[in-house]
Amino acid sequence: MTSEGASAEGRLARRITPGLLLALVVGNVLGAGIYVVVGEVAADVGGAVWVAFAIAFCVAGVSALTLCELVTKYPGASGVALYVDRAFGRPLLTFAVGVAVLASGLTSAATAARAFGGDYLAEFWSVEPVLAAGVFVGLLAALNYWGVVESLRANVVMTAIELAGLAIVIVAAVLIVGEGGGDVSRAIEFGDGDVIVPVALLGGAAVAFFAFLGFEDVANMSEEVRRPRVAYPRALFVGLALVAVVYLAVALAAVIAVGPDRLSGSSGPLLAVVEESPLGVGTRLFALIALVAVANTALANLVMGSRLLYGMAGQGLMPSPLGMVDPRRATPWVAVVSTGLLAFVLAATGDLAGLARTTVLLLLSVLLLMNLSALRLRRDTVPHEHLTAPAWAPWLGAGLCLLLLVNQLATGGWVDPARAAAIVALGAALHWMRSRRRGGGGGPAPEPGRSAAGGGGRRAG
């Protein structure tokens, strides 16, 4: 008989407690998004930034309901791609979802790299953004190569620093208003008279959704959670709610304190709040905190991307060199170098807003398929109890994801979807070359219950 915390033959040990799972959810969602996209959202919706963040939270929350059903129904499976595989049984679709998850991690890391070379870094040095992105990605790739344990330890410290920085913004804004500055009425302004409010809100919500990404990755830990049927839904919704409260407070504080015009288009929008405040926190100190937040997001995504490439190579879905491991550091060094190079290329060829929109396009597509998979799997029965989401949840989740996708495709031009399609096509080409060398067709599908195509550890929020 195996205890709950011990490992049964061929299975992972259930060592993640409810409290640890809650910390994992908060840490996985909270990230650079709020530090860098508030200005882009303000450019879309004006002062009503918080409304866009509230809509983004609703999209994340409804999809989280669906995800909870899938995680508790199939606790041995790992990641959205495996749910899609179980629902549709088409290896090519499963592979495409896995590549989309990988691509979203790379574009998220590239977004962070681009943000790193912006206004926050300018507080210290004036550096060409592409050069800054290259050095930034190189240093994080080196940490990724050093080892996953060291990377995760750094992640914990960085998350604490991120929270401290957001608390500074809220306190700074309160002091500005307390001294007679700021303007509360800004929070209900929807841009200028030419703005079509519903379209602007949907566009702003799509960008704000970038800050909530990461909640879906915690599904990859379901096999290691104690009592997942109870612990997982509770941790996911409490964690998302906590992050949403922080985000809404920061968004309201920023727009009331300095206004949407000051925030709009800035790669370091929250710096303006600290500059205006009598709090006494130096702008360089806050800029350093923001740079730590940006680095945390990029590091988590590079770790995820390298392990996903390594897993896919082991499954025969990608060229075998990507599965090579350094015997000294026990890290997949070819995959680490590859993800670092891809992230740098993306950062060098895209801007902050475009890369964030590309990330959201990819993840909205994945979540749309996840919701459709849940609808299809409603007919499937399992021998254990599990959470059943309300009947409307997968329908509403799919509808909201589709609505944001259509709005973004209709209003965002062709560059962002073309970038997303190019990355997925590159993955498909590598898979095709691998299949040709093996003399097979489409290659094997990922083994159910494993995360080779499922992804894990992405942080965008």
Is 3 domain-assigned?
no
Distance of alpha carbon 212 from alpha carbon 347, whole angstroms = 21
User: Which tokens sit at 30?
Assistant: 């909270």
Select from 334, 239, 300, 331 the least CA-distant residue to 458.
300
Query: For residue 23, what is the domain's CATH number?
Result: 1.20.1740.10
Q: Over 70: is that where the pLDDT of 451 sits? A: no
Give 146-172 pLDDT, tens digit per residue.
865 565 567 678 778 888 999 999 999
- What's the number of domains the chain is made of? 1
Helix (H/G/I), strand (E/B), else coil: 322: helix
Residue 1 lies in a domain: no
The pLDDT score that the predictor gives to residue 454 is 42
From 121-130, 135-144, 146-155, 376-385, the region with the lowest mean pLDDT: 146-155
**How does DSSP assign 396-447, residue by residue?**
HHHHHHHHHHHHHHHHS-SHHHHHHHHHHHHHHHHHHHHHHHHT-SS-PPPP
Mean model confidence pLDDT for the chain: 81
Cite the DSSP H helix spans in 259-282: 260-263, 271-276
Tell me whether residue 114 is in a domain. yes
Query: Which H or E run includes 283?
Result: helix 283-314
Give the tokens for residue 281: 């926190």
Percentage of residues of the chain with pLDDT beyond 90: 26
446 falls within a domain: no
pLDDT tens for 224-241 read 567 767 777 888 888 899
| Residue among 81, 142, 317, 109 nearest 210 (CA) | 109
Does residue 368 carry a pLDDT above 90?
yes
Tell me which of 74-83, 273-282, 355-364 is least confident: 74-83
Inside any domain, residue 170: yes
pLDDT of residue 81: 80
- Of residues 155 and 390, the one with the higher pLDDT is 390
Residue 2 lies in a domain: no
Per the domain annotation, does 460 fall within a domain?
no
pLDDT band per the 50, 70, 90 thresholds, residue 192: low
119-133, 355-369, 421-435: the lowest-pLDDT one: 421-435
Domain of 400?
18-378+388-438
Whether 450 is covered by a domain: the verdict is no
Q: Is the pLDDT of residue 390 over 60?
A: yes
Query: CA-CA distance, 54 to 95, in Å (whole number)?
Result: 32
**pLDDT over threshold 60, residue 5:** no
The answer for residues whose C-beta is within 8 angstroms of residue 382's C-beta and 6 or more apart is: 73, 74
The pLDDT of 258-265, averaged and rounded, is: 86
Q: What pLDDT score was predicted for residue 97?
A: 87
Cα gap 179→177, rounded to integer Å? 5
Tens of pLDDT, residue by residue over 398-429, are 999 999 999 888 887 888 888 888 888 887 78
Average pLDDT over residues 141-148: 78
